[in-house]
Structure 1
Amino acid sequence: MSKKNEKKLNKKQQTRRKILKGVAAGAAISAFPAPWVRRVDASDKILLGVPSSLSTPYGVADDQDHLNGSILAQEEINAAGGILGRELELFVPDVDKLNPESCRQTIAACIDKKVHAISNAFLFAPIPAMDESAKYKCPYLQGNTQRNATEAYKAEPEKYSHVLQTDPSEVNYGWTYPLWLQQMEKEQGWKPKNRKIHIVAEQVGYNQTILKAAKEAIPKYDFELAEVTDIQYPVNDWSPVMQRLKEVDAGAIMIDHWVASEYAAFCKQFISDPVKDSLVYLQYGPSQPEFLELGGRATEGF
């Protein structure tokens, strides 16, 4: 064997030894509880906290999607032998996602339960939950599409180093809306009857942040914000909104809301007496299966 090939072989063997040592170390470490869980509190199972809206009149459908996915993953993982032989178990505390104290208490309940990690669809009061989780520091995966959560992390990255956010901030809904209109016009053949935009906005902070971002972006794309109509959950009757939409008669309408069932109700009312030749954009809610289930054929064309 040449010296050159001998060196290559030695290098490969050394690399392989390092990998095997690393695997052995990883397997050994996995036998111990996570550092935020005391050995006395540890069990053979891996416990995942999944805060979910179970009893509130809002957010249940959203969280059920997330919980269903978690259960599916749990069943598949356990059927395959668990995580390094340890069974995965879920702890599902009820949460009112609009109530800051409920958001905090739900994370506290996960901590009391000594969970190994937390997975949460989204909360409208993310900071109290993040602050509570910082006392414990287990991995906290959240789908909070909110700029205030990312700004909090940016300000104190060490405090929130355990928090993982799955999606970008809601500002992108607002910033990209007029860009989308421009692309519809240039590439999809949309011919707006006028350059006016009418935004219907719910009052929760999430929707108000989207509204603010849209206001900043609209003038950059040769459109005009004609009016903002405020709505407040629950919207039991869309008639006043429909009347105002007709009066403003904007070429583009944005419904800046989040509740799928109320979006479905809006669609049913809109198609019965539409604002003629207006392009209607529905933000977030239609991504939920509940929207199509409740709205049926009335949801077509939005």
Structure 2
Amino acid sequence: MSPTSLTKRLTRYAKTATMLAALSLSAAAAAHADTVKIGLLAPLTGPASADGQEYQRGAQLAIDEINAAGGIGGNTLELAVGDVKDMSAGNVTSAVERLIGDTDVHFMLTGYASLTNFEIDAMAEAEMPYVLAATSQQTKDIIAPDPSKYDCCWSWTPSFDAYNTDVTSFVEKLAAEGKVSLPTKKVAIISSDNAYSKTISEGMKKTFTEKGWTITVDELVPFGEVTDWRSILAKVRENTPDLVINTDYLPGNSASFLNQFLEQPTKSLVFLQYAPSVPEFVQLTGEKSNGVIYNLLGGPLVSPKNPRADEVAKKFKDKYGVESGTYGLALYEIVHLYADALKKVGDASDHKAIMKAIGETDKQVVAGRLKFDPATHLAMQGDDYIPITFFQIWDGQRTLISPEAYKVGDFKTQPWMQ
């Protein structure tokens, strides 16, 4: 073989080796650059669909943002949605089983899926990392007896104890400041027969009684759509209370309650649990919502002291053209919790390491400083962590009026009390 022929053959071998090496590297990169699915449990249909739509929008916003920045370690995120519909046990179980059965799903999240959170046991059995954001008392009841059994699961929402106690303290503080009058210390408490609303109303009743209040109306309506509150409101008007509370969290129900209360209002302070935070509530009530107060645990802490809330709220509005309520921003942040854990661990299939990384979270989020209590897996609550926040609506805008350290406005007398 001539030197020239040998050189040509060696050149061909070198080119072939280079091509094979490149193909090998490309294949390795392709194997590494997987699509990692995030499973979302959401009531996309049914009475809570306004919340479910927010879940989906918030989670998708975060996923689009992460993918646009190159993904995580070359991995692309994709949202897989399980519609829990009316949140019945059968529909929740069906959605959970379908998503857990997808081998590409490596993380799951929700705002609320079942209200009793029974699906936590399925997540633990499947070793599926899971973060949820509601009915934290039920989460605590499941996890606290044996936290090590539930390394899977963590709650964005802190203990509901503040929901049970802080409305009483808030109203009494307003009275002490001369902003409201409490001549009788009577309260009417109306609730819905579901785990969230009932847990809160029962806690409130205990606190009000302990502080010397008289409960003049104590009503529990069946869970689901309620369009006529007039018989209950007639009882309220028979013995005018200083304070009227409705803990039904569905915005449509809460809106119809307010509209019907204002047909013949009493000079009572009105507090509505959660529902006014959903944009749909203001759409249904318009100017009638002026003055309404509500509170949140884990809601956006919109204050100059927490610019993160404004930053994420702006992203949501720019993307969808509407303002987010509580869950759009929360689900956005929860996706980023998973992204942080995946960056740290590097392998989406290492669920145990992902769970551990999520549990070690300590960061500033839209709701405040997020750190988990290892004994309950709930977010830690308090002004230095996730505070309970009180808002008042005026002209469609929600103003943070408590706690003192974060407030951006002051309580104003509700129109029907003037």
The alignment status of 1:122 with 2:141, answered yes or no, reads: no
> Is the CA contact (8 Å cut-off) linking 2:186 and 2:241 kept in structure 1?
yes
Give me the whole-angstrom Cα distance separating, in 1, the residues matched to 2:254 and 2:287: 13
Which residue, out of 59, 69, 77, partners 2:66?
77
> Is the CA contact (8 Å cut-off) linking 1:196 and 1:252 kept in structure 2?
yes
Deviations 1:13-48 (A, max 9, x none): xxxxxxxxxxxxxxxxxx99xxxxxx9xx9701110
Give me the whole-angstrom Cα distance separating, in 1, the residues matched to 2:236 and 2:114: 28
Give percent identity, aligned residues only: 26
Deviations 1:101-128 (A, max 9, x none): 3222222111111211001111334443
Give the strand-richer structure, 1 or 2.
2
The alignment status of 1:231 with 2:242, answered yes or no, reads: no
Give me the whole-angstrom Cα distance separating, in 1, the residues matched to 2:67 and 2:119: 29
Amino acid in structure 2 at the alignment position of 1:139: P
The alignment status of 1:92 with 2:85, answered yes or no, reads: no
TM-aligned CA deviation for residue 97 of structure 1: 5.0
CA RMSD, Structure 1 to Structure 2 (Å) = 2.0
TM-aligned CA deviation for residue 299 of structure 1: 0.8
Give me the whole-angstrom Cα distance separating, in 2, the residues matched to 1:74 and 1:133: 22
Q: Which residue of 2 aligns with 1:240?
A: 231
Q: Which residue of 1 aligns with 2:21?
A: none
Amino acid in structure 2 at the alignment position of 1:101: G
The alignment status of 1:250 with 2:238, answered yes or no, reads: no
Structure 1 residues 251 and 235, CA gap change in structure 2 (3 angstroms)? same
TM-aligned CA deviation for residue 251 of structure 1: 0.8
SS of alignment partner, residue 87 of structure 2:
coil
Give me the whole-angstrom Cα distance separating, in 2, the residues matched to 1:197 and 1:264: 20
> Is the CA contact (8 Å cut-off) linking 2:191 and 2:248 kept in structure 1?
yes
SS of alignment partner, residue 135 of structure 2:
coil
**Higher mean displacement: 195-204 or 174-183:** 174-183
Question: How many residue pairs end up in the alignment?
Answer: 262
Deviations 1:74-122 (A, max 9, x none): 1111111111221110000111353123222222111111211001111
**Higher mean displacement: 237-246 or 92-101:** 92-101
Q: Which residue of 2 aligns with 1:291?
A: 281
Higher relative contact order, chain-length normalized (CA < 8 Å, sep 6+): 2
Give me the whole-angstrom Cα distance separating, in 1, the residues matched to 2:206 and 2:260: 30
> Is the CA contact (8 Å cut-off) linking 1:174 and 1:213 kept in structure 2?
yes
> Is the CA contact (8 Å cut-off) linking 1:103 and 1:125 kept in structure 2?
no
Structure 1 residues 163 and 219, CA gap change in structure 2 (3 angstroms)? same
Give me the whole-angstrom Cα distance separating, in 2, the residues matched to 1:168 and 1:296: 31
TM-aligned CA deviation for residue 254 of structure 1: 0.6
Structure 1 residues 266 and 127, CA gap change in structure 2 (3 angstroms)? closer
Amino acid in structure 2 at the alignment position of 1:104: T
SS of alignment partner, residue 144 of structure 2:
helix
> Is the CA contact (8 Å cut-off) linking 2:115 and 2:194 kept in structure 1?
no
Stretches of 4+ moved more than 3 A in 1?
124-127
> Is the CA contact (8 Å cut-off) linking 1:108 and 1:133 kept in structure 2?
no
SS of alignment partner, residue 46 of structure 1:
strand
**Higher mean displacement: 251-260 or 124-133:** 124-133
TM-aligned CA deviation for residue 197 of structure 1: 0.7
> Is the CA contact (8 Å cut-off) linking 2:197 and 2:247 kept in structure 1?
yes
Write out aligned runs for 1:97-108 (5 A).
Answer: 97-108=86-97
Structure 2, gaps ≥5 residues long: 1-27, 293-418
> Is the CA contact (8 Å cut-off) linking 2:33 and 2:74 kept in structure 1?
no
SS of alignment partner, residue 219 of structure 2:
strand
SS of alignment partner, residue 150 of structure 2:
coil
Which residue, out of 248, 252, 256, partners 1:265?
256
> Is the CA contact (8 Å cut-off) linking 1:285 and 1:291 kept in structure 2?
yes
> Is the CA contact (8 Å cut-off) linking 2:115 and 2:134 kept in structure 1?
no
The alignment status of 1:217 with 2:216, answered yes or no, reads: no
Return the TM-score normalized by structure 2: 0.59
